[in-house]
Every structure is written in structure tokens, then in C-alpha cells.
Amino acid sequence: MSKTKQPVALELAQETALSSETEAYFAKCREKLGLVPNVLTAYSFNQDKFDAFTAMYNDLMLADSGLSKLEREMIAVAVSAVNRCFYCLAAHGAAVRQLSGDAELGELMVMNYRVADLTPRQRAMLDFAVKLTERPAEILEADRQALRDADFSDRDIWDIASVAAFFNMSNRVAAATDMRPNPEYHGMAR
């Protein structure tokens, strides 16, 4: 019987000593989330890559924006559903459940956002993010105008596109490295 090989992402990270800055970041994660997300552990094999990933993530998902934190998490889930990214569906599905206070919404988002009870604004945003994921060459001015008609500014459109693009990249890295979600995500906010 052969032994299952450890995922690439964690194998690389275990070979690396963490900087004091990364240790402090991990301590903050444990304090706020109760865990260190495996994606952060995976990126910790290289300080420059870790810093770039966390800076981009924090800017897109936590900084001031015309998009709420819930809306940004909804984009993460809708994009990850198209890409079938197990890691992001588990982690960001939990975030949608937590931020919305609605476990059913989190599950519907993971399975098919189109059947969820969404506002017209949320639906327009997710339709755009999914089209950008599936058929980016087909994005036209009419798609941007549909977002404006749903009360999104041009800056918001930038943020929607940036969050969608970030999760398309992250989904591909997770798939390539066999990145798995922390088991704790599966029971959160249920």
C-alpha cells in the first residue's frame, strides 16, 4: 500500500523557517480566526511571495471599497464555483455564511448563486464576475453599463474585476499545488 504524498503547498512551507513578521501575522490570524488559513501556510515558503499575496488579498478584501465585505466574499465564491476550487469554496463559503448570518445563502452561493435570493445589485455584480471568469473576451461596454445601472461606480467595477481576477489566480494556484482548506471551515457559521 502506497503512502499518500503530502500536498505540494504544505510540503514547501514545512521546509521554511518563518520570519518574525510572518509569525506575528499568523498569531493575528489565530486570534481573529482561530486558525492560520492553509493558503497562508502554503505561501510562507517564500517571504516575498507571502508578502505580495497578503498585501493584495488585504487590499482587495479588507480595504475601503464601495463593495461590502460580503459582496467581495460573494464574488470569491461565485468565481471559485466556476473554477470548482475546493479550497476557496470551503473558506469563502464560510465567510459568506458568517458575514450574511445566513447558512443557506452560503450553501446556495457555493452550489449556484443564480438560485439564491439576491438583490438586483448583487446579481449584476456576480453575473459580471462570472462572465469575466468564463468569457473575458466577451466583456463589452454593455456589461459595464449594467453594473452602473445597478448603482456601481467605475471604481466599484474596478474592484469587482480585481477581486474576480485575484480569485481566478488563487483558484489555479490551489489546484496546481493541491491546496486543501482547513477542516475548521466546514463547520463555521452553521
Q: Are residues 51 and 98 in the same domain?
A: no
CA 130/CA 123 separation, integer angstroms: 10
Give yes or no for a contact between 188 and 32, defined as CB atoms under 8 angstroms apart.
no
| CATH code (residue 174) | 1.20.1290.10
Q: In Å, how far from its chain's centre is CA 186?
A: 15
Across 103-121, average pLDDT: 96
Give percent above pLDDT 70 in the chain: 93
- By CB neighbour count within 10 A (0-12 exposed, 13-18 middle, 19+ buried), where does 67 fall? buried
CA 185/CA 190 separation, integer angstroms: 10
CA 121/CA 130 separation, integer angstroms: 14
Q: What is the pTM of this model?
A: 0.92
Q: Are residues 55 and 26 in the same domain?
A: yes
Task: Flag whether pLDDT at 119 surpasses 60.
Answer: yes
Q: What is the pLDDT of residues 16-43, one digit of tens each?
A: 788 999 999 999 999 999 999 999 999 9
Q: Are residues 57 and 73 in the same domain?
A: no
Q: Domain range for residue 93?
A: 69-187
Task: Flag whether pLDDT at 101 surpasses 80.
Answer: yes
> Is 148 among the domain residues?
yes
Beta strands in the chain (DSSP E): none
pLDDT value for 161: 98
Q: What is the pLDDT of residues 73-85, one digit of tens each?
A: 999 999 999 999 9
> Is 162 among the domain residues?
yes
Q: Are residues 115 and 164 in the same domain?
A: yes
Across 125-133, average pLDDT: 98
pLDDT value for 17: 82
pLDDT value for 190: 86
CA 83/CA 23 separation, integer angstroms: 31
pLDDT value for 114: 97
Q: Are residues 74 and 56 in the same domain?
A: no
> Is 182 among the domain residues?
yes
Q: Are residues 53 and 110 in the same domain?
A: no
Question: Cell 463589452, residue?
Answer: 140
- Cell numbers that stand for 186 in this block: 466546514
CA 76/CA 61 separation, integer angstroms: 10
> Is 4 among the domain residues?
no
Q: Are residues 58 and 73 in the same domain?
A: no
Give yes or no for a contact between 164 and 132, defined as CB atoms under 8 angstroms apart.
yes
| pLDDT class of 3 with cuts at 50, 70, 90 | low
Q: Are residues 131 and 182 in the same domain?
A: yes
Residues 6+ apart with CB under 8 A from 62: 69
Q: What is the pLDDT of residues 137-177, one digit of tens each?
A: 999 999 999 999 999 999 999 999 999 999 999 999 999 99
Q: Are residues 88 and 171 in the same domain?
A: yes
Q: Are residues 79 and 39 in the same domain?
A: no
Nearest one of 38, 39, 47, 42 to 18, comparing CA atoms: 47
Task: Flag whether pLDDT at 1 surpasses 50.
Answer: no
> How many structural domains does the chain have?
2
Average pLDDT, the chain: 93
| pLDDT class of 10 with cuts at 50, 70, 90 | low
Q: Are residues 116 and 26 in the same domain?
A: no
| CATH code (residue 43) | 1.20.5.810
